[in-house]
Amino acid sequence: MTLREVFKIKFRKKIFIIWLIFFSLIILQSNYVKAGLQYNISYEEKQNEVFVNTKHSEIHIEKGYLNKKEIYEIAKKIEQGIVRVKDYLGEEFLAMDTSKYKIKFYIRDGNFISNAGGRTIKLSYVKEKNAPYIHEIVHILASYNGFKKWISEGLAVYLNDYLGGYPSPPNFGKDLDELSKEIIKKKELKEVLSFNNTYVNPNMVSQEKRMAFYILSGSLVKYIEEKYGKEKLLKMYNSININGVIDKSFDEIKKEWITYVENL
């Protein structure tokens, strides 16, 4: 065997080994992705409800309201939503130890407003895929130390969009800034803008004005995150006095945001 032939054989072996390593890495990566998509969902039918258990949640569903496919879909959405909210907030701003406690969800048919309290969430309009599950998860998981209705609801509205939740109230997936621009133009909704850092006008009793307040709050939170950064936004969320976070008053920030929206 000539030296040239020996060289060719060695070269072919090296190429073979390189390809073998390459395809092995692809297979390992594929298996890793598949493993990451496994939600470890357990499903149990009871007398009046279907009980679903995931890593971070216990889900109680009115029997007969959703079919099995819809049940698994919302269970995966909820699990994914909890993980995404946790990742966004980080350990510093997390209000609940999700390794010790689970969020309880109650899902049923009916025309009611979804709500959250303690470690419990009640969800409506799941079948229609309009349930604000991420919005309510934010209320449970975000550490909150203030009385600022605008930032409490604004963060929940903004993250429901940003983290890929169902299109749900108040904006149903529509652009928060564009909707805010239209609201600011309407004379009958001008009083909605009267909110300050701790105060919300008690006369905003109509559904239209309440929804307008939520949309404006979501747009304002989005503006703060984009201009000042997520860390400062979350510190503002968890602080009684925002002046210690950003060297500006709430009224100054609000005025900046209104100017930004009006000039879109």
Report helix angle 149-162 to 207-228, nearest 10: 70
Give the residues of the chain that fall short of pLDDT 70: 1-39, 145-147, 197-205
- Tell which residue, 234, 45, 28, has the closest CA to residue 148: 234
- The reported pLDDT for the residue numbered 204 is 62
Hey, is 107 helix, strand or coil?
Answer: strand
- The reported pLDDT for the residue numbered 37 is 43
Residue by residue, DSSP assigns 19-73 as HHHHHHHHHHHHHHHHHHT----EEEE-SSEEEEE-SSEEEEEETTTS-HHHHHH
| In contact, 134 and 85? CB cutoff 8 Å | yes
- The reported pLDDT for the residue numbered 35 is 38
- The reported pLDDT for the residue numbered 155 is 96
- The reported pLDDT for the residue numbered 28 is 41
| In contact, 224 and 236? CB cutoff 8 Å | yes
Domains identified in the chain and CATH numbers = 39-143 (3.30.2010), 145-264 (no CATH)
Hey, which residues does 59 pair with through a beta bridge? 52, 105
| In contact, 59 and 79? CB cutoff 8 Å | no
pLDDT digits (tens, 9 = 90+) for 45-75: 888 999 999 999 999 999 999 999 999 999 9
